[in-house]
Chain A
Amino acid sequence: MVRMRLYGWIAERFGWRERSLEFEGTIEDLLRSLNIELVELVSRGRVMVAVNHSLERDLGRRVSGDDIIAVLPTFSGG
């Protein structure tokens, strides 16, 4: 089961923060299966993706099993 996490305004917009789901494929496929808008937000640079707690720019990377995939808005700390 891959684990998906959403943060910041993304979590509020989609109405959930964490989900586990059966999935094997690319990050892009995973995002599309959840919401087509996510892929567009990543391509426009408003959102980033992390796999297992590290930023991942290659949406073609395959994920499966125990991977943790996080969808992150542009950082705004401080």
Chain B
Amino acid sequence: MDMIEVKNLTKKFGHFTAVDDVSFQVGKGEIFGLLGPNGAGKTTAIRCLLTLIKPTSGEAKISGIDISKHAGQVRQLCGYVPQDVSVDGEMTGYENLLFYAKLYYVPGSERKRRIQEALEFMQLTDRANGMVKSYSGGMMRRLEIGQVLVNQPRILFLDEPSIGLDPSAKRDIWDYVVRLRDEFETTILLTTHDMLEADELCDRIAIMNRGRIVGTGSPEQLKAGLGGDVVSFTTSAADCSALLRQLGYQLLSRSPDSVYDIVVSNGDREIPRILEELKNHGIVTTSVSLKRATLDDVFLRYAGKRIDESEADWQSTRMTRRTVRRLRK
């Protein structure tokens, strides 16, 4: 059985459609990622699933339970780590965990053990009695995840789990997420705008842009779907997009500073031929490079631009997420 089933989910705020007819399934023990720029509707989508906001239309089931009919049951099964700070700095780490153990009705006889386990799992045992406001960003993040682990959730929702963390803290979080799945078979739905995170962490990905899912698959499938490697070259000549298309190349993008990205099935063999052809048409290339297709290239194909270019404009970001930017450094 699928742990998460979403059918035609739509959420409108006034005239603005934040989530537009979205459907996907997540199997048990799967790490599923919603990948897209800020304002793509990822957070709104998971808030709908968590029964925090009411969808405008569509339906969804968590572990077979209809979210619109049994909100309480759904919340009891889930754990949610929002993007922003969600542990209380004015309490100790231990108190933050105890608070959630009680909020999730963990029986009194089990609380202590579950809290110890969560602390050990997130490697916070030695700092448990320190005030959270003295924690580093990475420690806070670990405590935020630990906080929902006391409930032993079957499904874990992580909103941008590694945003704002330094590279090593980021790696740590990824390790914890994978271990959660491996050791407890937790189903994990995460949102991210980080290509590397999606690529390394997720079993499957749904690419979201402007509220819609524009492509779904494993990172490998999605990259393979592009049809090969990406060759990018720079030229000082005038616009040669038309020429490239005429020659039968799949042009992925052309940046304003005349960097052309084209997709070819077998990059290292094709480069000499490409350069030869361009030269024959009087185009001088100043540099050329070959890279394996990345999810960024995949996003580009589905959404028509690179992920960091498609950060939604000021207004729609504000409409979808009225929260302040995280205060954490």
Whether chains A and B associate is no
Residues of chain B at the chain A interface (Cβ within 8 Å): none
